[in-house]
Every structure is written in structure tokens, then in C-alpha cells.
Structure 1
């Protein structure tokens, strides 16, 4: 995935109210930008970090800039815009990078499913004509080279795992796909120290037949690229 326009670089002053951040672009003013990340963003939003933002020409937007990338004190690049995880998952399904998710007959984003009419991130049919339901999560919380999800207690993530288990019960494939959006992360596991219920549900889901995979992405101010699968430990 390439960024359509050059990103503006600046220095993060603070992130607040979940969806806002103040950034110094070196033009003498502090600019408020949109932060498209509802998580805690631990380790991704340290004041003084170098950041990159995209620019929108939409006159209806209150904030014309969107925070896309951050660089931590180790020089590692992090994708803070969680919407890109779904886009990169879509690119993954077109490749043979992960054999378990390749050679699909078709795939579509944001499809309604389940009794609660939720939206699955990706739906498709594999080479055996089985329906496949893929829930995508963006992983940016790092402890050394280990990545954790979630970075805050997430009732929504609990709901998604329960729905994936129902998908398996209905005779379909259900997949929890972690897109690693942090350069320093080389493996993924549930953050039991943050959300013990989520970690418990992951183990239940695996026992029920839900498949767990993770793929690492690498970002630059020009593009985000798929790199390689990484292990998931439940």
C-alpha cells in the first residue's frame, strides 16, 4: 500500500481525547490532527516522537491532517492508523505469503454476518469452497520483540471472538488475523496482563477451531508493505 500523497513529518506534542493529537510541524504553530486509533497506544504516542501525517483536501473535514505513522526512541516505525490493518489484510489475501490464507476463490470486505448482524472484516471462499470469516486486529503494543493484543480491555474484541466461535459451530472457517504494524515485533500473544478475559477467550476459540495467524508489516513514509508471517502464542 502506497500513500497517495507525501506525508508531512513533525514532532508529537501530545495525544488526547482519543481522537486528537497536537503536532509541531516546524512552522511556528502547533497543529491539531485527527488520530484514527481508539486504543491506549502505549509506546506509540510518546511526546517528542517523530510522526507523519497525511493531508486531506476535503473541505468538510474539521481536521485536514490524519496521523499515520510514528517512530519510537529505538527508531522503529509504527503504523498508528488502525484502518491500514484491514487494507493490508486485503493485500495479504491476494498473495501466497501465508499458505493458509492463499488461493481463495473470492474475498470481500466488511460483510454482514451472525445473529447480531455484525460486520466481519473479510469474508471469502477458500479453494475447498468453504466460507471463511476473517477478523483483523492491529498489533502495536510491544515488549521487546513480543507483541500483545489488546492494549486496553476490549469488550468489542471479546464479542468478536465469541462470534468467530459461532462461525465454526455453523460449519465455516473462522480466522483471527493479527496484522503486526510495529517494526520491532516478531511474535504475538494475547495481553493477559491487560485483558485476562480476552486471553481466556483466545484459548477457548482455538479449542473450538478458530484459526490464529499473524503477519508483520513494515512501514516507511512512502508505503506499508507485507513482510512475513510471525508466530502466535496463545
Structure 2
């Protein structure tokens, strides 16, 4: 994912109402922009943080600038939740996620489960279907360790149960955690923030759902998937 045109930098003043942020440009101009992340963004909204924004000239947009990257913990963190599906697809096509790149057919946003849509549906006549759900990850409170979720997510637990249903129906089901930061080498399910999600994760793994965490290199020029990291090693070992 290459940013074209290049991102511009600013200093964060505040992020508020989930969809908005205020910032100051290098020349001192105060601006308000849109935030493409409705989650808690825990640890990524500190006033004074350096940020990078994409610029949009469309007359239908209310705000010209959109937040893309925040500097936190001496690393760059991608916050745009509209990017993970594209980055996961890129990782699959590059052969970074197990054998998923060998499936010849890939479709996006297909209906399945309980009134849901699967992010990526892979298919091959002899092997059948592989359902791929993608989650964005940007939370870290211990160096080297990414965690998900950063706030309770009943919807995320529902998706895990639906993936388990797909396995029991004779298909493959895969959970991809797309980590938009470069300073982590393993991912842990955040049990102290959302025990219900953690239990849904454990159920899904026991039912045969596969889990991968994709590491990304993040820069103001591009965000690109680079490989895999360990997923909740302690939980997987206990199954």
C-alpha cells in the first residue's frame, strides 16, 4: 500500500467524537480532519503526537485531511481500519500467510454466517472454500507485544463463532490479525480487556479455526506486510 500523493505531517491536538481530530500543521495552521477509526485507539491519541495525514480534494468530502499514521512508543502506527483487508490480501498474494496464496480464486465481502460478510473468501475446486476474517491491530503496552482487542468487541466474538461454524460445515476458516506497527514480533489476545472475546478465540481454535498475525512495515511512504508473528502462544499450547 503506497501513499500517493505522499502523506503530510502535523501535530495532534485531540481526537474526538470517534470520527474527528484536530491538529496543527508545521506552519501553525489549525485544522480539523476525519479519523478512519471508530475504535478506542488506546495509546494513540496523546496530544502533541506527530501524525501523518492523507490529502483529499473531493468536493463531497467535508474534511480535506484524513488521519493515517500516529507516532507512538518510538514507532509509526497505522490507524486506518479501511486498509487491513487490502493489506491482508496483499500478504496472501505474496505467499506470506501459510498456503493461502495457492488458492486461485479470491472474492471480497461475501455473505455468510449470521447476517455477516466475510472479508475474504478463497476457493479452489478440489480444496473447497476458505473463509478469511481480518482484524486490525495497533495496540501495544509491552515492547514487542501486540494485543487485540483494545476494547470489548461483541461483534468480534460473533465472527469467531461464525468461523467455527464454517469449519464444522467442512470448510477452512482463518483469522488474520493485521498488525499495523513495526515494533512487535508476537500477538496476544487481550484477555483482561475482553474475556468474552478471549473465550470465543479459544473456542474457535478448539473447533479448528486457524489464526495468523501479519506484521507490517509502516512508513509515511507506504504500509506493507512483511511476514508472520507468533499468535497467543500460551493459549494455543493449552488447547
TM-score bucket of the superposed structures, by smaller chain: over 0.9
Distance 2:61 2:209 in 1: 39
Distance 1:126 1:173 in 2: 12
Aligned Cα root-mean-square deviation (Å)? 1.3
**Shift of residue 78, structure 1, vs aligned partner:** 0.3
Alignment of structure 1 residues 6-45 onto 2, 5 Å: 6-45=6-45
> Tell me, what secondary structure is at the counterpart of 1:99?
coil
Distance 1:97 1:199 in 2: 25
**Shift of residue 8, structure 1, vs aligned partner:** 1.1
Q: 1:32-69 deviations in whole A, cap 9, x for unaligned? A: 11111121111222111110000111101111211001
What residue ranges of structure 1 are gaps of 5+ in the alignment? none
> Tell me, what secondary structure is at the counterpart of 2:178?
strand
The equivalent residue for 1:2 is 2
The equivalent residue for 2:139 is 141
**Shift of residue 75, structure 1, vs aligned partner:** 2.2
Q: 1:83-111 deviations in whole A, cap 9, x for unaligned? A: 11111001012112233322111111111
Q: Is 2:9–2:26's contact at 8 Å kept on the other side of the alignment?
A: no
**Shift of residue 194, structure 1, vs aligned partner:** 0.2
TM-score (norm 2): 0.93
Distance 1:109 1:23 in 2: 35
> Tell me, what secondary structure is at the counterpart of 1:198?
helix
CA distance 1:128–1:47, shift in 2 (3 Å): farther
Aligned residue pairs, count: 232
Q: Is 2:52 aligned against 1:52?
A: yes
Distance 1:90 1:203 in 2: 25
Q: Is 1:142–1:184's contact at 8 Å kept on the other side of the alignment?
A: no
The equivalent residue for 2:154 is 155
The equivalent residue for 1:206 is 205
The equivalent residue for 1:231 is 230
Further displaced range: 74-83 or 207-216: 74-83
